[in-house]
Amino acid sequence: MEYTVKSGSPEKQRIGCVVVGVFASRKLSPSAALLDEASGGYISNLVRRGELEGDLGQTLLLHNVENTLCDRVLLIGCGREKDVDTRNFRKINSIMATTLEAGGTTEAASYLTEIQVKKHDITWKIRQSIEAIDEAMYHFKLLKSDKKPPRRPLRKFIFSVSGRGQLMDGEVAVRNGMCVSSGIKLAKDLGNMPGNICTPSYLAQQALDLDKQNPKVTTTVLEEKDMENLGMGALLSVARGSRQPAKLITIEYRAGDKDQHPIVLVGKGVTFDSGGISLKPGAAMDEMKFDMCGAASVLGTLTTCAELQLPVNVIGIIPTVENMPDGLASKPGDIVTSMSGQTIEILNTDAEGRLILCDALSYAEKFDPDVVIDIATLTGACVVALGAHPAGLLGNHKPLINDLLNAGEISGDRCWELPLWDDYQEQLNSNFADMANIGGKGAGTITAACFLSRFTKKYHWAHLDIAGVAWLSGTAKGSTGRPVSLLTQYIFDRVAEMQ
């Protein structure tokens, strides 16, 4: 998709379609009012007759509106003017994109950027528009035999800005939005790949490809022998039951000052999770290919940083394995030694994500990080607690927690803090090892984070449990690309602080 910005009156746009908003109670947006004036009251007459009430999501497509240069005008219902928030703004743009695509429009000028969203400026609205449009237009066809695009694909959007003074900021917003959207798309594509294709080796190759494409990126891949030499017994215990060798991928993007401590992102990369010996139920087990969405989000975020050439140091660490039930697989009751030297009693082999993450978090110490953020589809308990809207957030450093909460609000990719109190730590007590890998039925998301916290005492750390937000089930099944938008906004904010 091509995106550009332009200033100018809507009736003078020589293009396939001009898109304007109508608010509830039939109130025309400023651009809709200009079109109405040019057409001699044509739009207001239609609205008065009840053709469009302005309720959120309503659409009305008009052809050959008098005294306009565009072929068509699309009216979008925006709901009550004071109720337009991040969610509704994205919904309006999503409906616009799907309506235009269904109608065979190839080019459109959107004046929805004039809609007021509290606390947000034109650059935010352009970036959110691009993300919403690309999300609406996303189709995973890489493995379908019919890969042909629509006969008349939607290929160009022009976003309106109020004057020439906003053009430069608008162009920056377009570039940022397109690069973030590109990272989200990569994360979606990787998440949607089946486990027989997207193996640990496949993820490693994606990281190596990013290295080849950008001179500021350096990728290294540790093999099982390397991890064994480092004492990563927890990580390797998960891979024992699979024929796919484990990998520890490190992607270093260094475009900041040499003395700048890096932001380290650690992404869980279980490319298929059968549960191991603690076998999962068969129903919906196909969705366990999404258990590497944390890794996918790290790759998507690093790709965005590289494409934008952000002046910051970011390191991605991806421990990636396949969790399968084999004769060599770990058994409930086995005890393994982590890279930190702490021993772990494996009471449930389906609590494998924390086993690969704990060694990766110990490995992160070598980079002398400013902060470490791990991203993982870690617990079903998070889905029970928070549903499919925010990611769970826990950590040991309040300023980092606050920064992530704020980035989530700005990006619309929200998270919610849960308590990481010492009261929960005793649930991990083991009679035979330093700790158990599960803490019982209560507070499963919190005890999982408590487990990880034992490996993060030497730096500022936050944990994002994305089990509820990383993919959709049902008829809309597929990866969401979250939390790439949240992570990139956090990095944007950090860059702004440094400048």
Beta-bridge partner residues of 218:
252
- Per DSSP, the three-state class of 177 is helix
Q: How far apart are CA 287 and CA 480, in angstroms?
A: 13
pLDDT for 150 equals: 66
Distance of CA 169 to the CA centre of its chain: 24
Tokens of 365: 């110490």
- Per DSSP, the three-state class of 149 is coil
pLDDT for 164 equals: 85
Which positions of the chain have pLDDT values less than 50? Answer: none
| The CATH homologous superfamily of the domain defined by 2-180 | Leucine Aminopeptidase, subunit E, domain 1 (3.40.220.10)
Q: How far apart are CA 408 and CA 274, in angstroms?
A: 31
Domain residue ranges in the chain: 2-180, 195-498
Please report which residue ranges of 276-365 form alpha helices under DSSP H.
Answer: 293-308, 353-363
Token match 């487990």: residue?
Answer: 451
Q: What is the pTM of this model?
A: 0.95
Token match 């860059």: residue?
Answer: 495
- Positions marked catalytic: 280, 354
Count of Cβ atoms closer than 10 Å to residue 328 Cβ: 10
Count of Cβ atoms closer than 10 Å to residue 196 Cβ: 11
pLDDT for 448 equals: 98
Token match 């916290």: residue?
Answer: 453
Position 50, amino acid: G
pLDDT for 146 equals: 81
CB 28 within 8 A of CB 22: yes
Q: How far apart are CA 203 and CA 201, in angstroms?
A: 5
Closest CA to 129 of 68, 86, 78, 66: 86
Query: H/E element holding 87?
Result: helix 86-102
- Angle between helices 86-102 and 122-137 in degrees, nearest 10: 50
Question: What CATH architecture applies to the domain 195-498?
Answer: 3-Layer(aba) Sandwich (3.40)
